[in-house]
Amino acid sequence: MLSRFFSILGCFLLFTSIMFAQKVTTSKFGDISYEMTQKQVAALTPNKLALYDVNNPEMPEQDIELNGIKYHISYYRNLKTKQFEVYMVSSVSAQLSTLSGIKIGSSLDDLWKAYKKYDISVQDIFEDDETKSVRAFAINDLDNGCTLDFYLKNNKVVKMVLSNESGFLNNNIYEN
């Protein structure tokens, strides 16, 4: 009887630790914080990560998988520290959710209910001049200097993105 209790307790603790490690806020995206360097991100996984450059060598990108969740990360080069730091992290994983319970598949109405009292903006994003592809619902966190975007298709969340706007924008004010 006692061993069954400890087995159930162990499963509960494992489940809750996984659930808490996969939350999204305006400062943390699952296991990845907006203040992390590329080296700190690489230390989260035993797999060797390769940086790859899409268009700009000063803003490399990489894909990483942690706890079964795939993330896409963009970095910027901090001019003061000379290290790559997280600029943007995104995922389409249904295993991530916000503290308000918003996740992939949530509706636009769910977003309005959860965030109507926050600094938000909504905009349409177009593939070309005439074709609307997605809608972006953004929560602007002025204290952290971050933006949490939810991309919607057919009024359902299909992607979440956390951007470290202040780190990137303030990068040019460092003096020698």
**Mean pLDDT score of the chain, rounded to an integer?**
81
In the numeric block, which tokens belong to residue 60?
Answer: 């490399």
The Cβ of residue 106 has, within 10 Å, a number of other Cβ atoms equal to: 22
86-98 tens-digit pLDDT: 999 999 999 999 9
Question: Is this structure's pTM higher than 0.85?
Answer: no
**Which residue segment(s) compose the domain that 130 sits in?**
2-173
10-43 tens-digit pLDDT: 555 445 444 443 788 888 888 898 889 888 988 8
pLDDT score of 125: 82
**Dist CA 87 CA 78 (whole Å):** 10
CA 56 to chain centre: 21
| Type of residue at 50 | A
111-163 tens-digit pLDDT: 999 999 988 888 888 777 676 788 999 999 888 888 999 999 999 999 999 99
- Any idea what the CATH number is for the domain that residue 121 is in? 2.60.460
> What total number of domains does the chain contain?
1
**Dist CA 139 CA 146 (whole Å):** 8
Give CA torsion, residues 24, 72, 109, 164, to 10 deg.
Answer: 60
**Dist CA 32 CA 71 (whole Å):** 9
